[in-house]
């Protein structure tokens, strides 16, 4: 709504409100804007303010005034982005293009996206930010110039300042599709895994086996939204089942914290299972535990998340499976459909089904 204490002129605030309704589809292309009198009454502004806002919308190419008929929505994107269809490339911006692990989820998704785009007459342009927010900001700005849309897998930092390029692109209706993580405050389309719901299935599996004392590994200081959702899902499921939440059993990643976890196992009341935020942390826990003679899973059950199919001896992790083929297909479909049909991007949450391996069993107590 209009903020009369804001230094931003009233007509610019009104322009932004109507513009966002057009971009979001609340005022679809071809629809008629409310009349001047209705806008004046609804927003409690002057006729001059309304006319200035409408003129700004005309300049952006979003509306057209028709003499004697009213003002109609002409397009759902500003002029600079109205010809996105003629650009035949889509960018994919990631923190790192290197494949650190076999069956790396992101690398597999990129491959699937590339195939889909090729089949639909788009080229794929790859870019990496190198885990730098400054690079990320600069690359988004540059990539938007030459590409019909951008798929963006953000660096782990969950917040961006309001002057970040992403906010300007989204406010202008540019097709910016988030993958894997969301950015707090950035209202754009995304394709993400159901991190919260899927981790609850993992924890519920442990509880169904009889585990009452469960630890969690993998809470970095600036947790991405995906990791935050997994931790919150863990806490919710523990509480829902009436089990105690011991915050001293929630560990950040790192060698030092793994040592602290192992020391707990010698105490009278200790974790009988560990939920890890991903498979990589799960394997580290297993390696460290077995190196000091702790049997997996009879003395300690361990779960992961991702299903990277990482092997440690004859172990098959109990985990939540992210399907890169499915994720890549949905990502590509979403952005191509939005570009080809000038539609707002969708918000898609993809389940990660529980995979029961041989790293979990009933507690030996």
Q: Which tens digits make up the pLDDT trace of 274-294?
A: 999 999 999 999 999 999 999
List the single range of 80-84, 87-91, 211-215, 228-232 with lowest mean pLDDT.
80-84
| Whether residue 37 has pLDDT greater than 50 | yes
CATH of the domain at 20: 1.10.10.10
Q: Which domain holds residue 204?
A: 195-321
Question: For residue 359, is it within any domain?
Answer: no
Examine the domain organization and report whether 110 and 185 are in the same domain: yes
CATH of the domain at 108: 3.40.50.2300
Examine the domain organization and report whether 167 and 269 are in the same domain: no
Asked if residue 243 lies in contact with residue 207, where contact means CB atoms within 8 angstroms, the answer is: yes
Asked if residue 61 lies in contact with residue 54, where contact means CB atoms within 8 angstroms, the answer is: no
DSSP state of 86: G
Examine the domain organization and report whether 64 and 154 are in the same domain: no
Q: Domain boundary residue among 40, 58, 76?
A: 76
| Whether residue 177 has pLDDT greater than 60 | yes
224 vs 350, higher pLDDT: 350
Examine the domain organization and report whether 208 and 314 are in the same domain: yes
Total number of domains constituting the chain: 3
Q: Is 131 left (phi over 0), alpha (psi -120 to 50) or beta?
A: left
In the chain, at which residue ranges do the beta strands (DSSP E only) sit?
63-66, 70-73, 89-94, 123-128, 149-152, 176-179, 190-193, 214-217, 250-251, 273-276, 301-303, 319-320, 347-350, 354-355
Q: Residue 311: what pLDDT?
A: 75
Q: Domain boundary residue among 76, 101, 122?
A: 76
60 vs 90, higher pLDDT: 90
Asked if residue 324 lies in contact with residue 307, where contact means CB atoms within 8 angstroms, the answer is: no
| Whether residue 331 has pLDDT greater than 60 | yes
Examine the domain organization and report whether 316 and 242 are in the same domain: yes
Q: Which three-class secondary structure state does DSSP give residue 247?
A: helix
Cβ-Cβ contacts under 8 Å for 147 (sequence gap 6 or more):
87, 89, 90, 91, 125
| Whether residue 118 has pLDDT greater than 90 | yes
Mean pLDDT over residues 337-364, rounded?
93
Question: For residue 123, which of 147, 103, 97, 154 has the smallest C-alpha distance?
Answer: 147
Report how far residue 124's alpha carbon sits from residue 49's, in angstroms, rounded to the nearest whole number: 44
| Whether residue 220 has pLDDT greater than 70 | no
Mean pLDDT for all residues in the chain: 90
Long-range residue pairs from 126-133, CB within 8 A, at least 24 positions apart, any chain = 126/91, 126/92, 126/94, 126/97, 127/91, 127/92, 127/93, 127/94, 128/93, 128/94, 128/95, 128/96, 128/97, 129/93, 129/94, 129/95, 129/155, 130/95, 130/96, 131/95, 131/96, 131/155, 133/157, 133/160
25 vs 281, higher pLDDT: 281
Q: Domain boundary residue among 76, 98, 124?
A: 76
Q: Residue 3: what pLDDT?
A: 83
Examine the domain organization and report whether 286 and 343 are in the same domain: no
Q: Residue 249: what pLDDT?
A: 94
Question: For residue 290, is it within any domain?
Answer: yes
Question: pLDDT category, 101, cuts 50, 70, 90?
Answer: very low
Question: pLDDT category, 11, cuts 50, 70, 90?
Answer: confident
Examine the domain organization and report whether 124 and 61 are in the same domain: no
Examine the domain organization and report whether 161 and 204 are in the same domain: no
Question: For residue 1, is it within any domain?
Answer: no
- CA distances 40 to 7, 71, 72, Å, are 20, 15, 17
Examine the domain organization and report whether 46 and 69 are in the same domain: yes
Question: pLDDT category, 100, cuts 50, 70, 90?
Answer: low
Examine the domain organization and report whether 127 and 243 are in the same domain: no
Residue 144's Cβ-side half-sphere holds a number of Cα atoms within 13 Å equal to 22
Question: pLDDT category, 25, cuts 50, 70, 90?
Answer: confident
Question: pLDDT category, 221, cuts 50, 70, 90?
Answer: low
Question: For residue 361, is it within any domain?
Answer: no
Question: For residue 358, is it within any domain?
Answer: no
Question: For residue 246, is it within any domain?
Answer: yes
Predicted confidence (pLDDT) per residue in 40-80, tens digit: 999 999 999 999 999 988 888 889 988 888 999 988 878 77
Q: Is 335 left (phi over 0), alpha (psi -120 to 50) or beta?
A: alpha
Percent of the chain beyond pLDDT 70?
A: 96
Examine the domain organization and report whether 270 and 157 are in the same domain: no
Examine the domain organization and report whether 111 and 188 are in the same domain: yes
Percent of the chain beyond pLDDT 90?
A: 60
Question: For residue 2, is it within any domain?
Answer: no
| Whether residue 124 has pLDDT greater than 70 | yes
DSSP state of 202: H
List the single range of 23-27, 49-53, 309-313, 360-364 with lowest mean pLDDT.
309-313
| Whether residue 102 has pLDDT greater than 60 | no
Instruction: Using DSSP bridges, classify how beta strands 89-94 and 123-128 pair: parallel, antiparallel or unpaired.
Output: parallel
Question: For residue 211, is it within any domain?
Answer: yes
Q: Could you tell me the two tokens for 299?
A: 């003395």
């Amino acid at each position: 709504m209009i903020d009369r204490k804001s230094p931003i002129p009233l007509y610019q605030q009104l322009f932004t409100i109507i513009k966002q309704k057009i971009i979001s589809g609340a005022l679809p292309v071809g629809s008629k804007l409310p009349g001047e009198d209705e806008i004046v009454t609804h927003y409690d502004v002057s006729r001059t303010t309304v006319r200035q806002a409408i003129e700004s919308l005309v300049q952006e190419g979003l509306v057209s005034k028709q003499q004697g008929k009213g003002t109609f929505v002409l397009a759902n994107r500003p002029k600079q982005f109205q010809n996105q269809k003629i650009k035949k490339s889509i960018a994919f911006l990631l923190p790192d293009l290197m494949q650190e692990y076999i069956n790396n989820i992101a690398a597999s998704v990129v491959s699937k996206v590339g195939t889909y785009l090729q089949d639909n007459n788009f080229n794929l342009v790859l870019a990496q930010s190198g885990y730098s927010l400054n690079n990320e900001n600069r690359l988004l700005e540059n990539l938007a110039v030459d590409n019909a849309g951008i798929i963006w897998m953000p660096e782990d930092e969950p917040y961006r300042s309001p002057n970040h390029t992403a906010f300007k692109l989204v406010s202008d209706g540019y097709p910016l599709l988030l993958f894997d993580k969301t950015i707090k405050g950035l209202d754009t389309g995304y394709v993400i895994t159901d991190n919260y719901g899927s981790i609850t299935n993992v924890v519920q599996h442990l509880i169904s086996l009889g585990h009452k004392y469960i630890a969690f590994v993998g809470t970095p200081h600036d947790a991405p939204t995906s990791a935050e959702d997994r931790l919150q899902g863990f806490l919710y499921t523990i509480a829902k089942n009436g089990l105690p939440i011991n915050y001293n059993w929630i560990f950040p990643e790192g060698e030092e914290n793994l040592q602290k976890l192992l020391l707990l196992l010698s105490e009278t009341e200790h974790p009988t299972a560990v939920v890890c935020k991903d498979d990589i942390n799960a394997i580290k826990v297993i390696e460290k535990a077995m190196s000091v003679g702790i049997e997996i899973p009879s003395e300690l059950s361990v779960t992961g998340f991702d299903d990277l199919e990482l092997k440690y001896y004859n172990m098959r992790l109990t985990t939540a499976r992210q399907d890169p083929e499915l994720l890549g297909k949905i990502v590509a479909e979403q952005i191509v459909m939005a570009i080809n049909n000038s539609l707002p991007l969708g918000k898609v949450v993809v389940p990660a089904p529980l995979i029961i391996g041989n790293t979990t069993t009933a507690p030996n107590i």
